[in-house]
Amino acid sequence: MISPAARDALSGWLAAQRALNGAAFNTIEAYQRDVADFLAFITQHHGEAQGLGALSRITTADMRSWMAFIRKQDVGPRSLARKLSAVKGFYRWLSEREGFEPTAVLATRSPKFQRKLPRPLSPEAASDMIETLDMQSLTPWIAARDQAVVTLLYGCGLRISEALSLIGADLPMGTALRITGKGGKERIVPVIEPARAAVERYAQICPFDITPDGPLFLGARGGALGPRAIQKVVERTRAQLGLPASATPHAMRHSFATHLLNAGGDLRTIQELLGHASLSTTQAYTGVDTLRLMEVYARTHPQGRG
C-alpha cells in the first residue's frame, strides 16, 4: 500500500504537470499509473509503506530490483523506458521540493531499444487512399466526411486528434488553420486547396447542423466523430488497395512530412508544421538519414555552396 504522504506527493506532481507543462489527459493517466506502480513495488520490496523520508533514500539496488521486476512481466524495453522516464520526472520534482539528492534514480540507465521509423506511403499510394475512401460508404455525406478528415491528415500534416478537434467556427476553411497540438502548443498550418474543397463538400451535404462551438466532423448519429471510425475506414481502404498494415491514419501525417522533405522542404519548417518540440523528432519522423542532411547542408549553407 502506498503511504498517504507518497500518494499526496504523486498528486502534487501530477497537478504540476497539468498546470506548468500542459500535459494531456492521457499522458497524466500514464504518469499516474507508472509512478503508482513503482511506489507500490518499493512498498512491497521493503515490506512496509514508504514515507517521503524512505523514498528519499532509494538506492541503485532498489532501482535494479524494480527494473528486473518489470522485465519479468514481459514489458518491452520501450515501455520500460517510458515508465523509468515517469519515475525520474517524479523524483526530480520531489527532490527539489523535499531537498534531497535523487542521484540513484536519475542515474538509472534507460534500456536501449530500436526506434521504429515511420513508414510513409508513396505519393501515389496516398493519393489512391484518399480517392478510394470516397467509395467506402453508401451514405454520401459519410463518405465525404471520411475523405475530408484523411485529406487534412495528409494535406496539412495533422494528427487525427487535431483534425477531429476542429469545430464549426473553423468554417469556411481559409488558407491556414490555428491548431492546438500536444501540450497545448499552438501552430499555424497552411491548408491546401484540395483539403479546403474536401471539407467544404462534406459540410454542404452533412445532414446535421454544424454549430460554431460544436465539432466540425460528426458521427452517423450527429455526435462528435471518434478516431476509431476513421481508423476502421482506412483499414478497409488499405485492404482493397493491397497496402501494408502500416498504412494507418497516422501514416498519412508521416507521408505529409516525408513528401515535403523529398520535394526540397526545409527540415526546420517541417518541424514547425508538425508541431514537434525538437528537430531530432522530425528527423526520425521523416526517416531522414545523415547523408540526406549533408546534402541539404551542402546545397543551402553559404560555405557549402562556396
Digit-by-digit pLDDT tens for the chain (306 residues) are 788 888 899 999 998 887 776 666 778 888 999 999 999 999 888 887 778 888 888 899 999 999 999 988 888 887 888 899 999 999 999 999 899 998 989 988 887 755 555 577 888 988 999 999 988 899 999 999 999 999 999 888 888 999 999 999 999 998 888 888 777 778 888 888 999 999 999 999 999 999 999 999 999 999 999 999 999 999 999 999 998 888 889 888 878 877 777 676 666 767 777 766 565 655 665 555 445 555 655 666 565 444
Report yes or no: 144 and 199 within 8 Å, Cβ to Cβ: no
Same fold, 4-106 and 123-299: no
Distance CA 66, CA 20 (A): 29
CATH number for the segment(s) 123-299? 1.10.443.10
Establish whether 187 is a catalytic residue. no
Q: Catalytic annotation on 82?
A: no
Q: Tell me the one-letter amino acid at 116.
A: K
CATH of 4-106, one of 1.10.600, 1.10.150, 1.20.1280, 2.40.50: 1.10.150
* Residue 119 falls in the annotated catalytic set: no
Q: Which of 159, 196, 238, 254 is catalytic?
A: 159
Separation in Å, CA 95 to CA 34, 58, 92: 18, 12, 5
Q: pTM of the predicted model, to two decimals?
A: 0.59
Domain-by-domain residue ranges, the chain? 4-106, 123-299
- Catalytic residue among 88, 119, 250, 292, which? 250
Question: What cell does 150 get?
Answer: 484523411
Catalytic residue flag (residue 228) = no
Nearest-CA neighbor of 145 among 253, 258, 259, 223?
223
Interior angle at CA 23, CA 29 and CA 28, nearest 5: 10
91 is catalytic: no
